[in-house]
Structure 1
Amino acid sequence: MKELILLRHAKSSWKDSTLEDFDRPLNKRGKTVAPQMGQLLADVGWVPQYIIASPAKRCRATTKLLLPYFKIKSKNVQWEEMIYEAPTSALYTVISEVPDKISSLMVIGHNPGLEMLATELDSAFPGHLTTCAAVCIDLPISHWRDIGPDAGKVRECLRPKEVLTRDQRT
């Protein structure tokens, strides 16, 4: 059995219109919510052994804010260019290359790719991942290479607006 946690990056800033999309940082709310979601995920036991994340600035910042709650060493974080603006085929490729000794994997990236992947893995998933939302998918497989459409079952989706109080989010 494998556990796949898909997490969309925290809320990003659109203040500087001269920045390329790849270089957009987190905004104030994103910097506040990411560690709160990290604590929540740790509290519910969604603690990955390994993280694959987009190297986009907002994903790097989100990942760095989550790491203290997962107690993961930086060597267990892979910055993967293919995740930025990735179609599901690229996400499947990246995930399928994870060593089988890893039973719990987190992918930190972007929409629409993450939403589409979650929906392909479990067609019952409504497909709505807000910023910093996480969806945990149980995969009854032994090898990551066996991941594919309809291979999983969504355990739960945690969205900041639904699981954090208003005071926590501001």
Structure 2
Amino acid sequence: MKKTLIIVRHAHTQDPIPCQEDHDRELTPEGRIAAIKSAEWLKEQGITPKKIVASSAKRTQATAAALANGLLGNSGRFEAENILFRASETDLLDFIHENFRQEDTILIVGHNPTVTQFSIRLGATSISYLPPASAVILSFEIENWADLHFHSGKLVAKNLTEEA
């Protein structure tokens, strides 16, 4: 059986303002447009996730909302998870093991440097950096997400966006 994982870095954000928590940074107008374009690119690939999960940060949620709207027709069809905000690559792997079972295709929206390193460790070895709003599609010959391991995936497609 084949499983597909889409990894997206959140779109471009506003610079932090004094006393603002990193968690509360918003997307720039250009970032919102880039998130919509990422959704359009994924739709062109013929990939529709069964589930979209994002970090609890405002910028990842806004990116996930654009993706959910473009891919699933509803900007509210994603879940926010606190654990993904400062997750390491191993944390992301554990999160997938613990939270997904039979879904064929899942999409995770997260932060750098973790999403870049996670993509590379799973099998996207031709990638060195994911700019904001970039997407990577990986496939795995596994029956269940609990069988997902580093260095076991195949890069299917990538959309490495340019800075806004």
Give the TM-score normalised by structure 2.
Answer: 0.91
Instruction: Check 1:74–1:12 CA distance in 2 against 1; reply closer, same or farther (3 A cut).
Output: closer
The residue aligned with 1:133 is: 134
The residue aligned with 1:142 is: 143
Contact in 2 for aligned 1:53/1:63 (Cα 8 Å): yes
Q: How far 1:40 sits from its partner (Å)?
A: 1.7
* Secondary structure, counterpart of 1:136 in structure 2: strand
1:91-123 superposed Cα distances (whole Å, 9 cap, x missing partner) = 011111233320000000001111111111116
- d(CA) in 2 for partners of 1:141 and 1:59? 28
Contact in 2 for aligned 1:49/1:72 (Cα 8 Å): no
The residue aligned with 2:41 is: 40
The alignment yields a C-alpha RMSD, in angstroms, of: 1.9
The residue aligned with 1:166 is: none
1:43-78 superposed Cα distances (whole Å, 9 cap, x missing partner) = 211221101110100011111112121116678522
Q: Does 1:157 align with 2:145?
A: no
Q: How far 1:26 sits from its partner (Å)?
A: 0.4
- d(CA) in 2 for partners of 1:29 and 1:75? 21
Q: How far 1:17 sits from its partner (Å)?
A: 3.0
The residue aligned with 2:104 is: 103
Q: How far 1:136 sits from its partner (Å)?
A: 0.4
- d(CA) in 2 for partners of 1:123 and 1:51? 20
Q: How far 1:143 sits from its partner (Å)?
A: 0.8
Contact in 1 for aligned 2:35/2:66 (Cα 8 Å): yes
- d(CA) in 2 for partners of 1:74 and 1:40? 17
Within a 5 Å distance, the mapping from 1:54-73 to structure 2 comes to 54-71=55-72
Q: How far 1:127 sits from its partner (Å)?
A: 2.9
Give the TM-score normalised by structure 1.
Answer: 0.88
The residue aligned with 1:4 is: 5
- d(CA) in 2 for partners of 1:109 and 1:80? 10
Instruction: Check 1:133–1:74 CA distance in 2 against 1; reply closer, same or farther (3 A cut).
Output: closer
- d(CA) in 1 for partners of 2:68 and 2:78? 9
Aligned residues: 163
- d(CA) in 1 for partners of 2:73 and 2:118? 24
The residue aligned with 1:86 is: 87
* Secondary structure, counterpart of 1:58 in structure 2: helix
Unaligned runs of 5+ in 1: 162-168
Contact in 2 for aligned 1:118/1:125 (Cα 8 Å): no
The residue aligned with 2:118 is: 117
Instruction: Check 1:155–1:80 CA distance in 2 against 1; reply closer, same or farther (3 A cut).
Output: same
